[in-house]
Structure 1
């Protein structure tokens, strides 16, 4: 159990170095480097927060719990492809805006549950 926790921390550090590039400073100014690192850590926090806010109750609670854990442990580049870079068509019809997903991926159910959670309930 402790070995797995250590591996999780090593994977987290590797993701911050390689996936998000939070520790790679692209400019020479100290303030700019700080801003870059804050933006990268906010992106990483968005991934963790989206996993933690997912509901896991109901009929499929075991499946939802496994998806939540997988999303929490997912690499950042995979998270971007699965949940951020989703091709979508935006249509204005009448007095509403319709979002049409243009492709399917295995994480689409998780994405739609997350959208429903964010749209339907207050988080605080």
Structure 2
């Protein structure tokens, strides 16, 4: 009896010469903000406020955002293509939590990366790619 109609709206700064279909298509192509917010919340715990002071929490949020951005840039620049779509937790376990030994000798400090890690080849190739 009643016809159900659903409306959606998009606030954008795209030129007014674009058609509504083009605007919606472009928006859906680049609209990944919800996934980013969810990743910052669940994966990296950016929204967790660990201290009772505003400046401390602001610093925590900046550090979390920097870690997120460094992970995404590293994935885009030096890692296989599928890594760019990984959740933070998977990325962290593959490329941040790397088993290693810190060896101190007379005048040097060395880090020995253990070869038993699942993504060791990708990690070492990314390290070589990002070397300046």
TM-score (normalised: structure 1): 0.69
The match for 2:40 among 5, 9, 16 is 16
Which residue matches 1:101? 114
Task: Using CA pairs under 8 Å that are at least 6 residues apart, name the structure with larger relative contact order, 1 or 2.
Answer: 1
SS of the residue aligned with 2:45? coil
Give 1 or 2: higher helix fraction.
1
Partners of 1:28 and 1:98 in 2: how far apart?
Answer: 36
Name which one, 1 or 2, has greater alpha-carbon Rg. 2
RMSD value over aligned CA atoms?
Answer: 2.6
Gaps of 5+ in 1: 55-63
Q: Distance in 2 between matches of 1:35 and 1:98?
A: 29
Check 1:9–1:94 CA distance in 2 against 1; reply closer, same or farther (3 A cut).
same
**Equivalent pair of 1:48/1:72 in contact (CA under 8 Å):** yes
Unaligned stretches of 5+ residues in structure 2:
1-24
Aligned residue pairs, count: 106
- Classify the secondary structure of the residue corresponding to 1:111: helix
Using structure 2 for the length normalisation, give the TM-score. 0.66
